[in-house]
Amino acid sequence: MLQGQTATRVQVMAAMASSVLYWFSGSGNSLVVATALSEALGGVPLVPVVQALRLPAAKPAGVMGVVFPVYAFGLPNIVRRFLETVPLEADPYVFTVATPGVIPGNVHREAEAVLGQRGVALAAGWTVLMPESFSPLRLRLTVHRTATVLRRVNGRVADIAGAVREGRRGVRQDSLAPTAWAGAAVHRAAARFFPTAGSGFRVAEHCAACGLCARVCPVGNISVDNGKPAWGERCEWCFACMQWCPVGAIETTGLATNRLRYHHPAVTAEQIAAQTVSDDPPPPAETPADAPRGASTSRPPH
Ligand SMILES: Cc1cc2nc3c(=O)[nH]c(=O)nc-3n(C[C@H](O)[C@H](O)[C@H](O)COP(=O)(O)O)c2cc1C
Ligand code: SF4
Ligand code: SF4
């Protein structure tokens, strides 16, 4: 057993040379976790999932981590598409880090199933609790714990980095069954609804016509007509448009009132906007041959 673990550790350390951390984030929590993890692992390149989908890696990674929020007890649709298509090395060490507000649901087992269809094993799935970003549920009840949750992040990340270095396998930090099974059923229905969820947003009169909501949208689902946003039908329901509007002009309809806005205090709207892909051609590769194209070098302070 010990011998096996040592072998795994050596293999993972060797593969770290071609390691990548992918991230997807609406309100900044997952970007902060990914950045802290990158630093704890000695500067592993950070790549936005949004860019990786558009500009696949020049060379697949031997160690691949993916950091993302939990949406309705499961994977964001965009992260699922990414896991279905990302180029992978033979026998890679793949791990997931989910950043739910309260309940991870079945998110790591869902990732395991998606990868399994490609014949790839998920080595480990960790969960780092973060502040809740789903505004309709962000009641004052959950706001009081924001500071406490944020204080714990670096400790959790250090533990995960240590486990990755050891090549730990078999971790699944999902909710306990049957909560996870119930969550999986809810998630299947929600995932079908997400693309059209933009129709639930409204813009108030006091919109300053700044266009920021369109720039932070990770999938280009917002067009700006006469300075005012209009939503299309490829929404991820990440809530970035609502969270980052500088004047709080975006509201949701048909859900609870008293919607408090949240974004991670150390992240800027520009850093979220930077995960999207412009129509410009990709920059020439200037990083080592193993680093994928489109790697983001932006790092939030934390
Ligand atoms: C549409 C939506 C659904 C969510 N569903 C869940 C959930 O099922 N369980 C949970 O604990 N958090 C849920 N959250 C909260 C986020 O997963 C959490 O706040 C995450 O840290 C946000 O990450 P980000 O800032 O990187 O976008 C949801 C958020 C959104 C926007
Ligand atoms: S970010 Fe807010 S103020 Fe700016 S265009 Fe969008 S809704 Fe209007
Ligand atoms: S429209 Fe808003 S909620 Fe939908 S993907 Fe874009 S930023 Fe996220």
For residue 277, the model assigns a pLDDT of: 67
The identity of residue 302, as a single letter, is H
Alpha carbon of 288 to ligand 2 centroid (Å)? 39
Alpha carbon of 69 to ligand 1 centroid (Å)? 5
Q: Per residue in 225-269, pLDDT tens?
A: 888 999 999 999 999 999 999 999 998 875 544 567 889 999 999
Binding-site residues, ligand 3, Cβ < 6 A: 26, 198, 217-219, 221-222, 231, 235-241
For residue 141, the model assigns a pLDDT of: 56
CA atoms within 13 A on the CB side of 146: 17
In this structure, are residues 301 and 268 in contact, taking their beta carbons and an 8 Å threshold? no
For residue 297, the model assigns a pLDDT of: 31
Residue 5 has pLDDT above 70, yes or no: no
Which residue has the least CA distance to atom 8 on ligand 3?
Answer: 238
Q: Per residue in 93-123, pLDDT tens?
A: 999 999 999 899 999 999 999 999 999 999 9
- Ligand located closest to 224 CA: 2
Alpha carbon of 235 to ligand 3 centroid (Å)? 5
Mean pLDDT of the residues in the chain: 84
In this structure, are residues 115 and 85 in contact, taking their beta carbons and an 8 Å threshold? no
Question: 66-80, 141-155, 259-273, 277-291: which range is least confident on average?
Answer: 277-291
Other CB atoms within 10 Å distance of the CB of residue 301:
9
Please give the number of the atom of ligand 1 that sits closest to the Cα of 239: 31
Please give the number of the atom of ligand 2 that sits closest to the Cα of 250: 7
Which residue has the least CA distance to atom 2 on ligand 3?
Answer: 241
Q: Per residue in 14-33, pLDDT tens?
A: 666 689 999 999 999 999 99
b/e per residue, 191-226, with b = 16+ CB within 10 A? beebbebbebbebeeebeeeebbbbbbbbebbeeee
- Residues 241, 269: Cα–Cα separation, whole Å: 10
Taking the CA atoms of residue 273, residue 296, residue 26 and residue 111 in that order, the dihedral angle to the nearest 10 degrees is: 150
Residue in 21, 35, 70 to alter for ligand 1 test, most ligand atoms within 8 A of Cβ: 70
Eight-class DSSP state of 257:
S
- Give the pLDDT band of residue 60 (cuts 50, 70, 90): confident
pTM, entire model:
0.88
Give the chain's domains with CATH numbers: 2-189 (3.40.50.360), 195-273 (3.30.70.20)
For residue 249, the model assigns a pLDDT of: 92
- Residues 46, 65: Cα–Cα separation, whole Å: 10
First to last CA, the chain: 38
In this structure, are residues 120 and 87 in contact, taking their beta carbons and an 8 Å threshold? no
Question: 70-79, 102-111, 207-216, 277-286: which range is least confident on average?
Answer: 277-286
For residue 23, the model assigns a pLDDT of: 98
Which residue has the least CA distance to atom 6 on ligand 2?
Answer: 213
Q: Per residue in 287-301, pLDDT tens?
A: 333 333 333 333 333
Alpha carbon of 233 to ligand 3 centroid (Å)? 10
CA atoms within 13 A on the CB side of 90: 0
How many residues would you count in the chain? 302
Residue 281 has pLDDT above 60, yes or no: no
Distances (CA, A) of 277 to 31, 88, 173, 252, 281: 16, 22, 31, 26, 10
Alpha carbon of 283 to ligand 1 centroid (Å)? 32
Residue 75 has pLDDT above 70, yes or no: yes
The identity of residue 246, as a single letter, is P
Q: Per residue in 149-200, pLDDT tens?
A: 888 999 999 999 999 999 999 999 999 988 888 888 899 999 999 998 888 8
Q: E strands of the chain, at which residues?
A: 19-23, 46-48, 61-68, 88-98, 124-127, 201-203, 222-225, 228-231, 250-252
The identity of residue 239, as a single letter, is F
